[in-house]
Amino acid sequence: MLTLLQADSTQLLIQEAAAPEKMSLIKMAVAGGWLMLVLLLLSIIAIYIIGSRWWAIRQAGKGDPHLMGNIRELVRSGKTDSAIRLCKESPVPAARLIEKGLERIGRPLNDIQTAVENVANIEIAKLEKGLPMLATVAGGAPMIGFLGTVIGMIQAFYNMASAGSNIDITLLSDGIYTAMVTTVGGLFVGIIAYFGYNWLTARINDIVFKMENDTIGLMDLLGQSSANTSKEN
């Protein structure tokens, strides 16, 4: 009985020794070579841009949904200063547009619209800050991964040619690891940046649409105020 137990234990140890070693993510990244450091840097940049833009867009989306209605009532009541003060207290980009338009009351509507559009361009540029870099990461990371694939295959064929007739599969392992791991890393970083870019762009478009609606409402309000003033005169 003891002999059978010892035989089973010996066989189990042999099987464990023969079992292939599991590769962790860290070992896999190291096998990818120095290009994995470049991809790691690009992933940090992408995550930072996505996080910072998400926070900025989230803050820009907050605010009083009745802001335009309150400003309309104040302007119609002749309380333009109170309306401007209300805009200053609001954190949303649309409030900056309305504020600029109210500060230009009394000037031609074309001048007011031009001033509002200039402010709108500035606010949109603030929201889109970093997106070109994110788009570059989305397109560049897979290309870097493909570069690693080419380098790895060159390394594998070089090792095979140097070995001559003594070809061993282990000679190809380093090159194949570099080729496959960098490809996966490049695609992984590129996918994160690609989906992050499109998601942020969609959120910004929603804010821009709201800004356009508020601008149209402001110009209609100022047009009505100008018409009423002309009738009174």
pLDDT, residue 78, reads 77
Question: Residue 105 — φ and ψ, nearest 5°?
Answer: -60, 135
pLDDT, residue 32, reads 61
Nearest to 43 by CA among 133, 157, 176: 133
pLDDT, residue 7, reads 46
State in Å, rounded, how far the first CA of the chain is from the last one.
116
pLDDT, residue 17, reads 41
pLDDT, residue 198, reads 95
pLDDT in tens, the chain (233 residues): 444 434 444 554 444 444 445 555 566 556 667 788 889 899 999 999 999 999 988 888 776 677 778 888 887 877 888 888 888 888 888 888 888 888 887 788 788 888 888 888 888 888 889 999 999 999 999 999 888 888 888 877 777 777 666 666 666 666 777 778 888 889 999 999 999 999 999 999 988 888 888 888 878 777 776 555 545 55
Torsion angle defined by CA atoms of residues 157, 158, 163 and 164, in that order, rounded to the nearest 10 degrees: 70
Give the C-alpha distances (Å, rounded to integers) separating 76 from 21, 40, 226.
77, 57, 11
pLDDT, residue 12, reads 42
Distance CA 24, CA 97 (A): 53
Nearest to 98 by CA among 123, 78, 135, 133: 123
Residue 156, number of CB atoms within 10 A of its CB: 19
pLDDT, residue 192, reads 94
* Greatest alpha-carbon span in the chain: 116
